[in-house]
Structure 1
Amino acid sequence: MPYLGKVAAAEIVGPTVNGNCKPLRIKDEDGQIYVVKGIGNPGKAALVSELISVQIAERMGLRVPSYAVMDVPEDLIQYSLDPLAANLSGAPAFASAWVTGAEELTFHEAQKLPDDVQQRTLLLDVLLGNGDRELDAFGGNVNLLWTAEASPIVFDHNLAFNMDLPEYWIENHVFAGQAHAFRDYAVRDEWGKLIDSVLCDWDNIASLVPAEWMYWDADGRTSATNPTIEERRGWLERYRTKPEIFWRDL
């Protein structure tokens, strides 16, 4: 399992080249480098989305980077010369291990991937409500890493659980060409069994989310971050409670 538990930051290396939410590269006490996002930006709800989504992707048979919840000491933040370090203050951060030698997948490479990998990734994003994996021959934001392995690495899900995506949004998805495969009801049933098996482990998935991310007042726990954990589970279960809406996107 790629989950590494809680790790402690030892050095802020600097900003990443890509990423709209301005993540930082941070080295932990063992020398491992991570791409790290904090509650300042992209925010608590985004970190919940990251941690839940990567676990679901893993359970759906997709490759993900190793990931952790990172404690960043306040003195490390205060003495950093990088102004983005302030985004890490106030709560643990989400940390995704840096994948050495990995490159972003190109559109040409993406279309050569096995159908199963393409369909699995497309289904993941429909399940999550993640519209942030767009790519065509002219460019886009694919959020897939390519290594020497046969399967790509899925990452960057801070925009998942978008419950207001427009109808037909998947037309811009990198694997939109696989949508036809889900029109077969027998195929839907098989994929539905996979989703069922994933959500059977929901309690373990949700248990990894720090209270500091789930509530604006982590101590009192009276003001929940939106969407709440319960709303997120309800959203995931719509493939069963509202199948006509869920499969419509495909």
Structure 2
Amino acid sequence: MLRDTAATRYVTPLREGGSLPGIVEADDLGTYVMKFTGAGHGRRALVAEVICGQLARRLGLRVPELVRIGLDPAIAPAEPDQEVQQLLKSSAGLNLGMDYLPGSLGFDPLAYTVSPAEAGRVVWFDALIGNTDRSWRNPNLLVWHGDLWLIDHGAALIWHHNWSGASAASRAERPYDASDHVLASLAPDVAAAAADLAPRVTAELLSEVTADVPDEWLAGEEGFASPQAVRDAHAEILALRAPRLHEHISLGPPPARRPSGPPGWLTGTWPHGTHRTSGAAR
């Protein structure tokens, strides 16, 4: 179950992402990367963050702690940036916080080694949730205290953008091309990951994970009678997808254009727009 806290101060925006997340301080004395219901990506991105983040944590992958974080729009006038002010005003109420990891570094496969076992678990998990946003162009991985941490799952669970487009069974069979995955070149052991993780994706686990999504982020979903019906639909697809998922993952030849040379944090040079840190926790 997600903890509840409330934002007390908006510190700074993180402008790398299109949804304009921000670093905030909260009344539990924690510091969080906050993702807003009023952002352009909408509440479905937060639904995906909760389901995927909580599922990953329950499967033993490192994801910063997620919290339900309340926002009083009264803090908006203190922000000089008009874009931020508008975002805060339009996000009154319940939002999502991700524990902030100070000093974390954006993952670079040229500078940090991941074992085939760990790479396989991440690739398998991304295939399960349909995550296409973990490429070498945008890894959405952090290195913190020598460990690999997964962040930013708002673009996953793509089926909830078009519920009427296909059946749960057909979505369960959908292939996953991992050739562009940031860990594809590290010999991910997908078979071992499947043997370990697939049996753990049970109906009970999925019920617990989807229960963490607040009703207000699911209410009014077209084609569903209740928030619980939306939770059940997500759980059904994931439950059907997990057992044979490894048969639908392909690791083809990597794309021709790949990063080359040592990363900026080794050379001391940071090109404009490069991630020093990203949203993740203490």
Q: Retained in 1: the 8 A contact 2:115–2:186?
A: no
Change (3 A) 1:191 1:222: closer
Q: Which runs of 5+ in 1 are unaligned?
A: none
Q: Residue 240 of structure 1: CA displacement?
A: 5.1
| Unmatched tracts of structure 2, length 5 or more | 163-170, 251-282
- Check if 1:211 corresponds to 2:215: yes
Aligned with 2:24: secondary structure? Answer: strand
Contact 2:133 2:155 in 1 (8 A): yes
Q: Residues 124-144 of structure 1, C-alpha deviation per residue, up to 9 Å, x if partnerless?
A: 100111110001xxxx10011
1:28 alignment counterpart? 26
Please state how far the C-alpha of 1:32 moved relative to its aligned partner.
2.1
Work out the CA distance in 1 between the residues paired with 2:43 and 2:94.
Answer: 10
Q: Is 1:153 aligned to residue 149 of structure 2? A: yes
Alignment of 1:75-224 (within 5 A): 75-82=74-81, 83-88=83-88, 89-110=91-112, 112-135=113-136, 140-149=137-146, 151-163=147-159, 169-177=177-185, 181-182=189-190, 188-196=194-202, 199-216=203-220
Are 1:239 and 2:235 counterparts? no
Residues 11-62 of structure 1, C-alpha deviations (whole Å, 9 max, x = no match): 1112014222110111112432211111111211110100111111111111
Q: State how far apart, in whole Å, the 1-side matches of 2:216 and 2:77 are.
A: 20
3-state secondary structure, aligned to 1:14: strand
Shift of 1:192: 2.0
Per the alignment, in what secondary structure is the counterpart of residue 64 of structure 1? coil
Distance 1:240 1:66, change over 3 A: closer
Structure-2 change in CA distance of 1:38 and 1:125 (3 Å): same
In the alignment, the residues of structure 1 paired with residue 85 and residue 67 of structure 2 have an alpha-carbon distance, to the nearest angstrom, of: 18
Q: Residues of 2 paired with 1:141 and 1:98: CA distance?
A: 19
- Kindly indicate whether the alpha-carbon contact (under 8 Å) linking 1:238 and 1:246 is maintained by their aligned counterparts in 2: no
Amino acid at match of 1:201: L
Bigger Cα displacement from structure 2, 165-174 vs 38-47: 165-174
How far off its partner does 1:223 sit?
Answer: 7.1
Distance in 1 separating the partners of 2:210 and 2:54: 9
3-state SS of paired residue (1:69): strand
Shift of 1:109: 3.4
Query: Which AA in structure 2 matches 1:55?
Result: Q
**Paired position in structure 2 for 1:62:** 61
1:127-166 Cα shifts (integer Å, max 9, x gaps): 111110001xxxx1001111223x3010110001024998
CA distance in 1, matches of 2:214, 2:75: 21
Write the distance in 1 (CA, Å) between the matches of 2:2 and 2:227: 26
Q: Which residue of 1 aligns with 2:71?
A: 72
Distance 1:180 1:142 in 2: 15
1:102–1:187: structure 2 CA closer, same or farther, 3 Å change rule? closer
CA drift of 1:4 comes to: 5.7
Amino acid at match of 2:199: K
Give the letter for the 1:154 counterpart.
L
1:18 aligned partner: 16
Tell me whether 81-90 or 231-240 shows the greater mean CA deviation.
81-90
CA distance change for structure 1 residues 147 and 188 in 2, over 3 Å: closer, same or farther? closer
- After TM superposition, give the deviation of residue 85 of structure 1 in Å: 4.2
Contact preservation (8 Å) 2:121, 2:193: no
Maintained 8 Å contact 1:60/1:120 = no
Q: CA RMSD in A?
A: 2.9
TM, length-normalised to structure 2: 0.72
Counting matched residue pairs gives: 232
Q: CA deviation at 1:66?
A: 1.9
Q: Is the Cα–Cα contact under 8 Å of residues 70 and 92 in structure 2 kept in the other structure?
A: no
